[in-house]
Structure 1
Amino acid sequence: MTTEGSSPITAASATGLQVGPLWGLLRPLLFRLDAERAHGMAMALAARWSKAFSGKLGEADQARSPGLRLRAMGLGFPNPIGLAAGLDKDAEAVPLWQQCGFGFIEVGTVTALPQPGNPRPRLFRLPADGALVNRMGFNNAGAEAMAVRLTRLRERELMQVPLGVNLGKSKVTPAAQAAADYQRSSALLAELADYLVVNISSPNTPGLRDLQTGDQVRALAEAVQGPNQRLTQPRPVLLKLAPDLADADAIACAEAAIEAGCAGLILTNTTIDFKGLSGATVGMSGGLSGRPLFARSTRLLGLVREALGPDPILIGTGGIFTPEDVAAKLEAGAQLVQLYTGLIYAGPGLVRRLLCALESHP
């Protein structure tokens, strides 16, 4: 697939993205609600659907087209477009995401201990920028609850795509004990996942981004690998970095991760840089996702690829809305890409529109 770049979303075009007819009706209604309330309602419906249906796709389904398949980290991916962590923190709606056409699904971020997250309001839309701001704070039911849910999911034998689990640090755990905290989650969840992600890049857990140093990355990777390597078939481990790191620091973390046995990285998480936005951000704090993140995340992706060479797996995420965006991530060095904010604005039909473009212009 070729691209001439992707222009930023303007105030006019942010609300004029190509959307399916159903989402075109639903989005204005949902956007009248508080962002987290709308998210909660949508997730509740998605969870109910996922309990009733398998989400299995036929071999002739577009999302399983032979021309889109690839292998990475020893896993088979029916297509390279995945669901990013953050949308389904507790793995409640995995069958629905599979039905949407995703080639892989990442749940979480999950922490060793259950936690409510930060006080509300903590999720905001910026429609003029095609963006979201969140300061959720890893609100989730904890690793033990996810282990129960994923065990039931595996018992249904419905998964046709790789399932990743994104691990974060519990807020109450001191930074000095972070490695043990991640290790506890790994011990509970590694066997139920197809790959694991060490997330040290969210801006919404105090001190978490301070773990983005070479020494800390090595310690955390080794901690997660402890229980993982005791499995009959150890799972690939990835590191997720922030876009706000200096280039040299990001490369140092990436190199440390590979040296510590990680299969690759996810680039990038949300940014704390709110400069140049059209929407009002007074009183907001947290991580910015969506179109404003695209340029920096893609640039850092390219720098890390150049530094690491062709072998490590890189997953590109941040600001993907169009086929051109997917192409730019792949050309920057990603083998796989992930979506989140694009779904909020363009609807779940975005996945298949992107797959159609990939298949038409490989």
Structure 2
Amino acid sequence: MSATTPYGLLYRTVLRRIDPERAHHWAFGLIRLADRVPGLRAAVRARFAPAHPTLAVNALGMRLPGPFGLAAGFDKNAVGPRGLGLLGFDFVEIGTVTGQPQAGNERPRLFRLTEDRALVNRMGFNNEGSAAVAARLAALGGDRPALGVNIGKTKVVPESGAIDDYVTSTERLAGHADYLVVNVSSPNTPGLRDFQAASRLRPLLTAVREAADRTTPGRRVPLLVKIAPDLADEDLDEVADLAVELGLDGIIATNTTIGRDGLRSTPAQVAAAGAGGLSGAPLKERSLAVLRRLYARVGDRVLLVGVGGVESAEDVWERVLAGATLVQGYSGFIYGGPGWTRALHRGLARLLAASPHTTLADAVGADVRRPQP
């Protein structure tokens, strides 16, 4: 983010002084307003979502205008996916949605570490619940971006009831989703990350797959799992092998980290932010390493989605070369503003044109497949 751009100036002088969660609601309100005003809707789309035909990809049974989407967390309740599509996101992931409505953790629960271009959140899956989100998606209508729906465990549900809780959300949401994501990697729901162990993940994914198939007869909704960057390498390998075994459609790598190593922010600033998941630039290298390891393990048998520390077109391109068919961002949107996706698409189109690859599909995993000296 450059302080010389209009958004950079606005961020430096105004937005950074406002509580992050309040600023999010204000900004998202403006995005939704743009979607509701016909003339403004067309103008925003033309300004921020120009087409780049060379970036089109086939993924998860869809033809997408590009590979770059908005990660879960921004639109938890499906209140503004059409507006987000106007800003150039090729797909939008809704959620995380839980079986029951829940308020999430006490405020404040979202913090900026500006020097690190990072966020710390302990939101706690605040959302209106899968029944309300399903009703909203059913009423959404057309002219929307491709939509993934990310589902998680309701906090008050005991671990013994977790699978039933995920199944409830699946039965409500599968019919409205272009793909489903099982989130077992948020650090803000006690015990949730324990479900990343293969012995616990297998029955969960199997139950969700069966529920989705029952709910959408004749249509196979793609199913992905979202994992944490903090997994040990051997645990990553187990998840990768399980995904192949179960015929999972994809893995999203990665969620936020509980680590705080190598930050530029002062210890006092980090302490003030407190516990929660760290996202943004500091996550870049670990998320990339996880992506490379997964691709080396699964190849093209499981689609990979790269997320974590994505700020620029070069970051997107690096993740494609490391094995990602699709790429997502979130924190970069907060720091980059409404023109962020346009800049990413333009830069990515230039990088593809300058490469030896004809399409993005040709480039997926090229760096990992290349013989090492």
Instruction: Verify same fold: TM over 0.5.
Output: yes
Matched-pair contact (CA < 8 Å) for 2:48–2:339: no
- RMSD (Å), alpha carbons: 2.0
Matched-pair contact (CA < 8 Å) for 1:201–1:240: yes
Matched-pair contact (CA < 8 Å) for 1:221–1:257: no
Secondary structure of the residue aligned to 1:225 is: helix
1:1-362 superposed matches below 5 A: 16-17=1-2, 20-22=5-7, 24-25=9-10, 28-53=13-38, 63-153=50-140, 156-159=141-144, 161-230=145-214, 231=216, 232-279=218-265, 280-283=269-272, 284-362=274-352
| Cα distance in 1 between the residues matched to 2:137 and 2:36 | 13
Structure-2 change in CA distance of 1:35 and 1:298 (3 Å): same
Matched-pair contact (CA < 8 Å) for 1:63–1:79: no
Structure-2 change in CA distance of 1:67 and 1:209 (3 Å): same
| Cα distance in 2 between the residues matched to 1:271 and 1:60 | 34
Which whole-Å deviations, capped at 9, do the CAs of 1:239-265 have from their partners, x for residues lacking one?
A: 000000001102202221332231010
Matched-pair contact (CA < 8 Å) for 2:3–2:12: no
Structure-2 change in CA distance of 1:95 and 1:176 (3 Å): same
User: 1 or 2 for the larger relative contact order (CA 8 Å, sep ≥6)?
Assistant: 1
Structure-2 change in CA distance of 1:336 and 1:233 (3 Å): same
Secondary structure of the residue aligned to 2:270 is: coil
| Cα distance in 2 between the residues matched to 1:228 and 1:182 | 11
How far does residue 319 in structure 1 lie from its aligned partner after superposition?
A: 0.5
Q: How many residues align?
A: 344
| Cα distance in 2 between the residues matched to 1:103 and 1:138 | 24
| Cα distance in 2 between the residues matched to 1:327 and 1:19 | 25
Which residue in 2 is equivalent to 1:5? Answer: none
Q: Which amino acid aligns with 1:90?
A: N
Deviates more, 1:204-213 or 1:273-282: 273-282
Matched-pair contact (CA < 8 Å) for 2:152–2:182: yes
Which residue in 2 is equivalent to 1:9? Answer: none
How far does residue 50 in structure 1 lie from its aligned partner after superposition?
A: 3.4
Deviates more, 1:132-141 or 1:35-44: 35-44
Secondary structure of the residue aligned to 2:17 is: coil
How far does residue 91 in structure 1 lie from its aligned partner after superposition?
A: 1.1
TM norm structure 2: 0.88
Q: Which amino acid aligns with 2:335?
A: Y
Structure-2 change in CA distance of 1:213 and 1:333 (3 Å): same
Which residue in 1 is equivalent to 2:358? Answer: none
- Tell me, which stretches of 5 or more residues in structure 2 are unaligned? 353-373
Same amino acid, percent of matched pairs: 46
Which residue in 2 is equivalent to 1:6? Answer: none
How far does residue 25 in structure 1 lie from its aligned partner after superposition?
A: 2.5
| Cα distance in 2 between the residues matched to 1:179 and 1:226 | 12
Which of the two has greater helix per residue?
2
Q: Which amino acid aligns with 2:167?
A: Q
| Cα distance in 2 between the residues matched to 1:19 and 1:301 | 34
| Cα distance in 2 between the residues matched to 1:33 and 1:352 | 26
| Cα distance in 1 between the residues matched to 2:281 and 2:4 | 16
Deviates more, 1:300-309 or 1:63-72: 63-72
TM norm structure 1: 0.90
Deviates more, 1:209-218 or 1:62-71: 62-71
| Cα distance in 1 between the residues matched to 2:280 and 2:211 | 35
- Tell me, which stretches of 5 or more residues in structure 1 are unaligned? 1-15
Which whole-Å deviations, capped at 9, do the CAs of 1:112-165 have from their partners, x for residues lacking one?
A: 100000111111000000100000000000001101110111xx2112x32100
Structure-2 change in CA distance of 1:31 and 1:76 (3 Å): same
